[in-house]
A and B are shown apart, each in its own frame.
Chain A
C-alpha cells in the first residue's frame, strides 16, 4: 500500500498541477505534495514495509537511505519553489511543476525497484522528466545544456540497458533461469559466468556513471548545473545523483556476492580518484559559481565511488555521506539560486558583498561551503572523515593520501571563489532584477536543511544509525 501511495501521490499532484490554470497558485501544490510524500516516507521508515509484487517492490535499508535523502531534499526544494516561482511569474511554470512531480514519483520508484529492468525504466524516466526543468530559462545557453544532458544521459542509460542484458545473459550461461530480480541474482551470484558479469559491471558502471557524473563521463554536468535554476540544480545533485548511485550500488551488491571482487573494487577506486582529480583541476580559479558547485558534485560522487571500492570500513560512512552530500548540495544550490537572482550573474568576479545584501543567503552559502568541504561540526565532516579513515584502515594508504590532497586543493579552490563573493560591499543594483532580497520562503528551506546537517554532525539518532549500519551490512563482501 505504502509503495503505491509513494508512487501515485506525486503523479496525482502532477495531474492536478497540469490542470491548474493560475501561474501563481500552481507552485503552491509543490510543498503540499512534497510534505505528503515526506510523511509517507517517514511512515515507511518507521514501519519497514514488507516486499510486495513477488519481490519487485521492496524498501531495503539501502533504498530507504536514498528515499529518505530524496524526500527530505525534495520537500526543501518544493517549499523554495513556492517562494521562488512567483518572483518569475511571467514565465509559465506549468511544465516545471509537472516535471518536478513526475520526477519525484520516478525517483521513488528507483529507490524501491528490486527488478533491475524496472529500475532502469524508472531511471530513464527521471532523466526525461528533468530535461524540461533544465530548460526553464529558455535561452541559447540553457538549450545547449539541455541538449547535451539529454543526449549524453540517454546514450549512457542505453548502455546501462545493454549491461543489464549482459547480467541476465550471465545467468543464462550459468544454466540458471534468466531473471533480473535482485534477490535471486545475489543468491546465485557465485554461479554467474564471470566474463559476462565483468562486462555487465563495466557497461552498468559507464551507464549509471554517466548519469551520476563520474569522470571522465561528467562533461554534461557543469553545463546542466550551471544553466538550470538553483532549485533544479539541487534536485539534480541531491536527487538524480543518488538515484544513479543506487543503481550502481545494486550492481555492486551482486558483484560483491560473486566472490572475486578485486577487479570491481579497483575499477571503482580508479574512477573515483579520477573524478576527484578532475574536480580539483577545474575548481581552481573557477569563475562561475554554479559550475563550481557542479564540480563539487563530481568530487563527491568520486568520493562515494572510492568508498564503495574500499568496501568494509568505509561503507557506513559512504551511506551517511550519500545523505549528507544530498542535503548540503541542496543548501548550496538553493542559496546560489538566490545569489544568481539578486545579482543577475553567475560570474563570481561580479558578485561582491553577498553577506551585506543577502545576509541569510550569504551566511547559509558560507556554512554550506564549510560543510561540503568537510569542516566540523557539520555531518559531512563525520562521513568524509569516516571514508578516509576507512580507506587508510582498508590498506589503501596511497589512495587515502591522494584523496586528502584533492580535498585540500578543492577547499582552497572553493574558498578563493566564495570568500571574495561574501566580503566587500555590494555593487549598486542595475539591470532587470532589482530589489531581490531574502524572504521567508527562499531562506527557510536551505536553513532547515542546514539545521539537519548541523544536528546530525553532533548527534546521530539511533534509528538512522541502525538504518545506515543495516545498509552497510548489505554491501559487505559475502564471506
Chain B
C-alpha cells in the first residue's frame, strides 16, 4: 500500500507544478480539483475500511472534486474572465522557485524529528512543497480567482499533513473544516463577482485605493 500512496503523493507534487505553470484558468481549477480528489482517496488507502472512513472519503471528494470547482467555474463564467492567469512574476521564475522549494522540502523533512513510523514517508515533504506552492500562487498572481486557487493549494498542503493524524480530528470536526472551506469559497466567489462589477476586471493589483495618505 505504501508504494501506491507514495506514487499518489508524487502525483500531487507534480500537479503543483501544473497548477503553477499553466496560463489557462480552467486548467488551474481542474488541477486543484484533481489534487483534492487524490487527497480524498489517501485516507482510504492508509486505513482499513469503515463506514466512518467511507463518509470522510466521499465528503472530501464531493467537496474538493465537485462542489468547489463548480463554484469556481461559476464565478469565472459570471465575470467572463479572459483566459490568461496574468502573473506578477513570470511563469518560468515561479516554476524555478517551486522546484527549489520542493527540493528543499525533502531536505528539510529528513531533518524533522518525526515519529518513527513516519520516517521516510513522502507525506511531510509533499505537504511542505504543496504549502509553499500555494503561497507562490497567492503572492505572484494578480487575479482574484487565481488567488483563491492558491489558497486551495495551500489548504491541500495542510490537509496532507493532517493525514498523519487520523484520530486527532474526529468526523464532526473534519466535516466542519470542509463546510467552512466550501462556505469560504462560496463567499469568495460572490466577492469576486462584485469586484468585477465594480472595477470591470478582477485584477487585484487595481485594489489600491485603501492606504495611508502621507
User: Which positions 84-99 of chain B face chain A at CB distance < 8 Å?
Assistant: none
* Pairwise interchain contact A128-B187, C-beta atoms closer than 8 A: yes
Question: In the complex, are the beta carbons of A177 and B188 less than 8 A apart?
Answer: no
Say yes or no: B198 contacts A143, CB within 8 Å.
Answer: yes
Contact A178 B210, CB 8 Å, known A128-B187, A143-B191, A147-B204: no
Q: A71-79, A153-161, A210-218, A317-325: which lies at the B interface?
A: A153-161
Q: Does A396 contact B (CB under 8 A)?
A: no
Q: Which of B167, B172, B173 contacts A177 (CB 8 A)?
A: B167
Cβ of A151 within 8 Å of any chain B Cβ, yes or no, is yes
User: Scoring B residues 150 to 164 as 1 if CB is less than 8 Å from chain A, else 0, what string do you get?
Assistant: 010011001001101
> Please, how many angstroms separate the alpha-carbon atoms of A179 and B214 in the complex?
50
- Is B4 interfacial (CB-CB < 8 Å)? no
Q: Which of B134-179 contact A (CB under 8 A)?
A: 138, 144, 147, 151, 154-155, 158, 161-162, 164-165, 167-170, 172-173, 176-177, 179
A237 within 8 A of B: no
CA distance A135 to B131 in the complex (A): 29
- The verdict on B195 contacting chain A, using a C-beta distance below 8 Å, is yes
Q: A143-B195, A145-B210 are in contact. Are A155 and B165 (CB under 8 A)?
A: no
Q: Which of B147, B158, B198, B209 contacts A151 (CB 8 A)?
A: B147
- Whole-angstrom CA separation of A195 from B168 in the bound complex: 19
A178 vs B199: C-alpha distance when bound (angstroms): 48
**A117, A141, A180 — which one has the most chain B CB atoms within 10 A of its CB?**
A117
Closest CB in chain A relative to B148 CB, distance in Å: 8
Partner of B131, one of A141, A146, A151, A162: A162
Chain A residues contacting B114 (CB-CB under 8 Å) are: 173
- The smallest C-beta distance from B4 to any residue of chain A, in angstroms, reads 23
Find out whether the CB atom of B177 lies under 8 angstroms from the CB atom of A135.
Answer: no
List of B residues within 8 angstroms of A124 by Cβ: 177, 180, 184
Chain A binding surface, main DSSP class: helix
Q: How far apart are the CA atoms of A195 and B210 in the complex, in Å?
A: 40
- Cβ-based interface call for B1 (8 A): no
Task: Determine if B210 and A223 form an interchain contact, defined as CB atoms under 8 angstroms apart.
Answer: yes
In the assembled complex, the Cα of A291 lies from the Cα of B115 at a distance in Å of 47
Among A59-67, A164-172, A368-376, the stretch in contact with B: A164-172
CB pair B177 A120 closer than 8 Å: yes
Q: Is A150 an interface residue (CB 8 A)?
A: yes
Q: Are B154 and A147 in contact (CB under 8 A)?
A: no
B156, chain A: closest CB distance, angstroms: 10
User: Is A23 an interface position by the 8 A CB rule?
Assistant: no
Q: Is the CB of B164 within 8 A of A144?
A: no
Is A193 in contact with B169, judged by CB distance below 8 angstroms? no
CA distance A117 to B191 in the complex (A): 27
A226 in contact (CB, < 8 A):
yes
CB <8 Å contact, B191 and A131: yes
Interface residue A28 (Cβ < 8 Å from any Cβ of B): no
Q: Which residues of B contact A143 (CB under 8 A)?
A: 191, 194-195, 198
Q: In the bound complex, do residue A173 and residue B115 qualify as a contact, i.e. CB atoms below 8 Å apart?
A: yes
Contact B168 A117 (CB under 8 A): yes
Complex contact A148–B191 (CB within 8 A): no
Which residue of the partner chain, among B154, B195, B209, contacts A141 with CB atoms under 8 Å? Answer: B209
| A104-137 with Cβ < 8 A to chain B | 115, 117-118, 120-121, 124-125, 128, 131-132, 135
Answer yes or no: A267 CB below 8 A from chain B CBs.
Answer: no
25 contacts between A and B (CB under 8 A): A117-B176, A120-B173, A125-B183, A128-B187, A131-B187, A138-B194, A143-B191, A147-B144, A148-B207, A151-B138, A151-B151, A155-B154, A159-B158, A162-B161, A165-B162, A165-B164, A165-B168, A172-B165, A173-B113, A173-B114, A177-B167, A178-B165, A178-B168, A226-B210, A285-B214
What 3 A-B pairs come out closest when comparing CB atoms?
A121-B176, A117-B173, A168-B168
